[in-house]
């Protein structure tokens, strides 16, 4: 299957109310493992790259890896740039061939965010790419105070932002955060319904690691078609390497540890794909 526009992958998921796993990969091994999981389960998948990964690996190398690995897959795949406040990185990724970008101007005023987001959407369209927008920003789980769901913009502000900018996906704050929750978060799921009904656009669920299966099903049924997972991959990748070395002290043969890590990341991805209901949804 060729690389499919993010909007096409999400349109089906949104219409049928399943969630597409959007998983942050960090290198070639994790990219391959997530694609292998999607392939095994016949699921569409979105690979996400952070700005840090783009800079660390280098745009050209990362993209070359993607093209080669995507070419071997038979399921619909897209590559997405996660939280990016840097316009030059957005432009470079769009020009290179990324399927979609999240323009993260949540630290700016809504008006300035909107002004710049309109430019980003126009730029993305020239490359046939899509844009995710956000106006509230997400905390790290360790910085949560418990009242996150109250510090959000009004529905009118959200609807105006989505309409004026023309973003394809919106990422609302609903009490979610990035990292490892101490306990399952209290989420304002009604806010997802309100936004979806008012905008007709799919919602991106951030901070997926650590939410319960019930929370995922509920939010996906309300229109969270893109479900972001990052911390779970980091844990699977690093912990499996640590476990391998603990169980095999002195075994410094790299391919063995890589195999253990690949299996752990692939299983983590399969677990989430199944939980989000996208198994067998490839076309
Ligand atoms: P987690 O790290 O909590 O899984 O969140 C992922 C995310 O939302 C990436 O944007």
- 58-77: pLDDT as tens digits: 999 999 999 999 999 999 99
- pLDDT beyond 90 at 184: no
**Position 1 confidence tier, pLDDT thresholds 50, 70, 90:** low
On whether residue 159 sits in a domain, the answer given is yes
- pLDDT beyond 70 at 251: yes
Q: In this predicted structure, what is the pLDDT of residue 145?
A: 84
Q: Which residues contact 204 (CB under 8 A, 6 or more apart)?
A: 22, 102, 132, 169, 170, 171, 224, 225, 226, 227, 228
User: Comparing 13-27, 91-105, 131-145, which segment has the lowest mean pLDDT?
Assistant: 131-145
| CA 196/CA 173 separation, integer angstroms | 14
For residue 208, how far is its CA from the centre of ligand 1 (angstroms)?
6
On whether residue 1 sits in a domain, the answer given is no
Q: In this predicted structure, what is the pLDDT of residue 2?
A: 73
Q: In this predicted structure, what is the pLDDT of residue 268?
A: 98
Of the candidates 32, 60, 82, 243, the residue annotated as catalytic is 82
The protein residue whose alpha carbon is closest to atom 1 in ligand 1 is 207
Mean pLDDT to the nearest integer, 38-66: 98
Domain that holds residue 214: 6-276
Closest CA to 178 of 155, 160, 205, 151: 205
The protein residue whose alpha carbon is closest to atom 8 in ligand 1 is 206
On whether residue 281 sits in a domain, the answer given is no
Q: How many separate domains does the chain show?
A: 1
For residue 126, how far is its CA from the centre of ligand 1 (angstroms)?
28
| CA 235/CA 267 separation, integer angstroms | 12
Quote the mean pLDDT of the chain: 96
- pLDDT beyond 70 at 20: yes
Q: Which atom of ligand 1 is nearest to the CA of 178?
A: 3
On whether residue 26 sits in a domain, the answer given is yes
Q: Which of 22, 25, 229, 236 to mutate to test the pocket of ligand 1 (most atoms within 8 A of CB)?
A: 229
On whether residue 50 sits in a domain, the answer given is yes
For residue 157, how far is its CA from the centre of ligand 1 (angstroms)?
24
On whether residue 49 sits in a domain, the answer given is yes
Residue 56 structure tokens: 């660390």
On whether residue 283 sits in a domain, the answer given is no
How many angstroms separate the Cα of 33 from the Cα of each of 28, 47, 101, 264?
9, 11, 22, 9
For residue 251, how far is its CA from the centre of ligand 1 (angstroms)?
33
Q: What is the CATH number of the domain that holds 265?
A: 3.20.20.70
pTM of the model: 0.97
Q: In this predicted structure, what is the pLDDT of residue 149?
A: 66
Cβ(179)–Cβ(140) below 8 Å:
yes
Q: In this predicted structure, what is the pLDDT of residue 150?
A: 67
- 122-164: pLDDT as tens digits: 999 999 999 999 999 899 999 888 777 667 999 999 999 999 9
Closest CA to 224 of 7, 20, 12: 20
On whether residue 24 sits in a domain, the answer given is yes
- pLDDT beyond 90 at 41: yes
- pLDDT beyond 90 at 6: yes
Specify whether 32 is catalytic.
Answer: no
The set of protein residues with a Cβ atom below 6 angstroms from ligand 1 is 24, 82-83, 178-179, 206-209, 228-232
Q: Which of 208, 235, 237 to mutate to test the pocket of ligand 1 (most atoms within 8 A of CB)?
A: 208
């Amino acid at each position: 299957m060729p690389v499919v526009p993010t909007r096409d992958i999400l349109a089906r998921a949104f219409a049928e109310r399943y969630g597409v796993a959007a998983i942050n990969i960090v290198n070639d091994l994790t990219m391959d493992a997530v694609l292998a999981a999607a392939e095994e389960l016949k699921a569409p998948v979105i690979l996400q790259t952070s700005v840090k990964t783009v800079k660390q690996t280098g745009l050209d190398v990362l993209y070359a890896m993607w093209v080669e690995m995507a070419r071997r897959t038979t399921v619909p795949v897209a590559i997405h740039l996660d939280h990016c406040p840097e316009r030059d990185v957005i432009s470079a990724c769009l020009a290179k061939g990324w399927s979609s970008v999240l323009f993260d101007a949540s630290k700016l005023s809504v008006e300035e965010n909107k002004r710049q987001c309109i430019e980003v959407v126009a730029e993305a369209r020239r490359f046939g790419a899509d844009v995710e927008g956000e106006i509230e920003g997400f905390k790290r789980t360790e910085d949560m105070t418990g009242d996150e769901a109250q510090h959000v913009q009004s529905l009118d502000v959200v609807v105006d932002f989505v309409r004026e900018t023309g973003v394809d996906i919106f990422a609302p704050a609903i009490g979610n955060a990035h990292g490892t929750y101490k306990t399952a978060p209290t989420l304002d799921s009604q806010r997802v319904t309100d936004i979806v009904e008012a905008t007709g656009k799919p919602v991106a669920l951030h901070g997926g690691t650590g939410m319960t299966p019930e929370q995922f099903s509920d939010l996906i049924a309300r229109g969270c078609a893109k479900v972001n997972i990052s911390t779970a991959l980091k844990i699977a990748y690093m912990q499996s390497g640590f476990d391998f070395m603990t169980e095999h002290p002195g075994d410094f043969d790299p391919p063995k540890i890589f195999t253990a890590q690949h299996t752990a990341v692939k299983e983590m991805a399969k677990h989430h794909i199944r939980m989000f209901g996208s198994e067998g949804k490839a076309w």
